[in-house]
Amino acid sequence: MNDLQNLKKFTTVVADSGDIESIRHYTPQDATTNPSLILKASTLVGYQSLLEDALSYARKQGGTQKTKIINASDKFCVNIGVEILKIVPGRISTEVDARLSFNRGMCVAKARKLVSLYQEQAIDKSRILIKLAATWEGIKAAEELEKEGIKCNLTLLFSFAQARACAESGVYLISPFVGRIYDWYHQRKPLDPYLVEEDPGVVSVRKIYTYYKQHRYHTVIMGASFRKVEQILALSGCDRLTISPYLLKELSKNNRHCDRKLSPDTGVFHRPTPLSESEFRWEHNQDAMAVEKLAEGIRQFAIDQESLEKLLTGKL
């Protein structure tokens, strides 16, 4: 068995891609997309029919030019998600506009709209995860959506405070960003020689995993944003791992023995008092890496969203 097959014995593998053919090839359980992947898909020949359908939908809905662009963008994201759901047996994660990350009400409204667009194509909400940035507002929006039966994936998660607040708010799933944490530390002090056990991204996810299992939180942990195969294998046993096509290919080429690294330890069971907003903000802001990477991630996703909207404007 290759590494990918071995990994699937312990962990649910999710494709971090909007590339339908890659997803078809690696047969993951679920798939995730983000604004960067959607922007890339908009330029590929195989996605032009989905793009044209989104533009047609926006024209029929009418409204101002800005409204049409927003409707076309939302519809295109959902169209890609629907195509992916024809391949994967599980769920698709579709992201809320990053520019709404500090507006709880708008996050909730956008999530409801995306779910409605899926339902118009006969996709039940049980197969959808709404991705939100793990700001305080995003976490509280997810708490509200979860009560309506809309499951959420909290992304751009870098600090332990973010992880705690998500679990305490009953969020369905979190995506801690292993590779981006590694990047931040490596840029400041190269991790040479590289030891995966000391990788800050790996250490962060292991800490969250242990905490969740000890306190019996039901929030799913899905490690994301990997740079190395070693990072993935070091988190074997994590609830889920979302992996790019490039690293899925690397895993499928190797035939090393893959042991389970993470196993639930439920020896402790008490729930700490939930963080208040002020406590959350204080704890999160004690982590310079998390503050920088969360802000950077939101900015970059917003830039990619704006680039997609420029493309749509030209076509409208």
Question: Average pLDDT in the 160-183 region?
Answer: 98
Residue 268 pLDDT level (bands cut at 50, 70, 90): low
Domain ranges of the chain: 3-315
Q: How many other β-carbons are positioned within 10 Å of the β-carbon of residue 191?
A: 13
What CATH architecture does domain 3-315 belong to?
A: Alpha-Beta Barrel (3.20)
Cβ(315)–Cβ(59) below 8 Å: no
Given the residues 75, 131, 151, 228, the one annotated as active site: 131
Contact by Cβ (8 Å): 2, 254: yes
Closest CA to 12 of 265, 237, 232, 175: 237
What mean pLDDT do residues 281-292 have? 98
Q: Is the pLDDT of residue 256 over 90?
A: no
- What radius of gyration, in Å, describes the C-alpha atoms of the chain? 19
Q: What per-residue confidence (pLDDT) applies to 22?
A: 86
**Interval 195-237: pLDDT, tens:** 999 999 999 999 999 999 999 999 999 999 999 999 999 999 9
Residue 266 pLDDT class (50, 70, 90 cuts): low
d(Cα 314, Cα 29) in Å, to the nearest integer?
36
From the list 159, 267, 170, the residue with the least C-alpha distance to 207 is 159
- C-beta separation of 5 from 256 below 8 A: no
**Which amino acid is located at 204 in the chain?**
S
Least confident segment among 39-48, 62-71, 147-156: 39-48
Specify the DSSP class assigned to residue 243: E
Give pLDDT, residue 255.
Answer: 84
Q: How many CA atoms lie within 13 A of 189 on its CB side?
A: 3
Q: What whole-number distance in Å separates Cα of residue 135 and Cα of residue 284? A: 10
Given a cut of 80, whether residue 76 has pLDDT beyond it is yes
Tokens of 10: 């312990």
Residue 257 pLDDT greater than 80, yes or no:
no
Confidence of residue 19 (pLDDT cuts 50, 70, 90): confident
Residues 113-162: pLDDT tens digits? 999 999 999 999 999 999 999 999 999 999 999 999 999 999 999 999 99
Does residue 249 carry a catalytic annotation?
no
SS3 237: coil
Residue 271, phi then psi, degrees to nearest 5: -100, 120
